[in-house]
Amino acid sequence: MAANSALENTERNVRDKDDATLTPEDQKETKNDIKIMAAIRQAVVKDESLSVNAHNVKIITRNGKVTLRGPVETEAESMKLQQIAKQTPGVVQVNNQLENIAP
Q: How confident is the model at residue 24 (pLDDT cuts 50, 70, 90)?
A: low
Provide the CATH number for the domain around residue 83.
Answer: 3.30.1340.30
Confidence of residue 4 (pLDDT cuts 50, 70, 90): low
pLDDT at position 29: 74
Residues 6+ apart with CB under 8 A from 75: 100
89: in domain: yes
Residue 14's pLDDT is: 46
For residue 33, what are the domain limits? Answer: 26-100
How many Cβ atoms sit within 10 Å of the Cβ of residue 60?
21
Q: How many domains does the chain have?
A: 1
More confident residue, 25 or 32: 32
* pLDDT for the residue numbered 13: 47
Task: Enumerate residues 6+ apart whose C-beta is below 8 A from 35.
Answer: 90
Asked if residue 5 has pLDDT above 60, the reply is no
